Copies of this chain bind each other. A is one copy, B any other.
Amino acid sequence: MASKAPAIDKRRQILDAAIRVFARQGFHSTRVADIADEAGVAYGLVYHYFKSKDEVLNELFSERWSLLLAAIEEADRSEASPRAKLEAVAGFIVDSYRYDPELMKVIIVEVTRAANSFGRTHLTEIRRAYDSIAKIVADGQEAGAFRRDIDPSFASMSFYGAIEQQLSGWIFELTPATDTDLEQAKTLVTATICDGLEPR
């Protein structure tokens, strides 16, 4: 008997396999057969659960991005200082990478930074994240915590870009990514963006 294997969720199994394979080979050079093999499942089953290969990636992206959006909006609703809100956002993104680097790699490399193919589909969701961050900045300006001569949406792009670039560095092994590095990055991004490189 051992495992009764009570209807393991094959759909989930396929998604998880897809993360691994996409991270390893990239979306374009991944064959649907690779996903099925990695999941230990028949080729056709992928099409039982998903309309197309694209839909698998879309699903992976949307699952995770909605968490990010929720995290940003929660940070925004909190009573913390604007700077602490940004720190919370940076923290969430870095933790996402720590918790599941392969998934974050797929999302960044195949969607976020590839807005030609897939990003186009998700541009609205992606934009929502930038806008929410911009709102945090704008509120901070109104409260006098941030200077007013930098456009909030400009600041938002810089902040997000700085974080994503750090993840890229880790993903492509341009930059060490020990636990300590990740932990420091959380506050360092915010320190860089809020305090600046020049001494105060």
Contacts and interface: CB of A to CB of B under 8 A. Distances in A.
Contacts of A158: 162, 165-166, 189, 192-193
Contact of A157 (B83, B126, B166, B194): B166
Interface pairs A-B: 9 shortest CB-CB: A161-B165, A196-B196, A113-B113, A158-B162, A26-B116, A161-B161, A195-B196, A157-B165, A161-B162
A113 B118 CA distance: 13
A165 B119 CA distance: 14
Number of this chain's copies in the complex: 2
B194 A83 contact: no
A26 B117 contact: yes
A145 interface: yes
A192 B155 contact: yes
Nearest to A166: B157
A21 to B, nearest CB: 12
8 contacts: A109-B114, A114-B114, A115-B168, A146-B199, A147-B198, A155-B197, A160-B165, A161-B165
A96 interface: no
A198 B127 contact: no
A28 interface: yes
B169 A162 contact: no
- The A contact surface, by secondary structure, is helix
Interface string A132-152: 000001001000111100110
A153 interface: yes
A16 interface: no
Interface in A148-198: 150-151, 153-155, 157-166, 168-169, 171-172, 174-175, 185, 188-189, 191-198
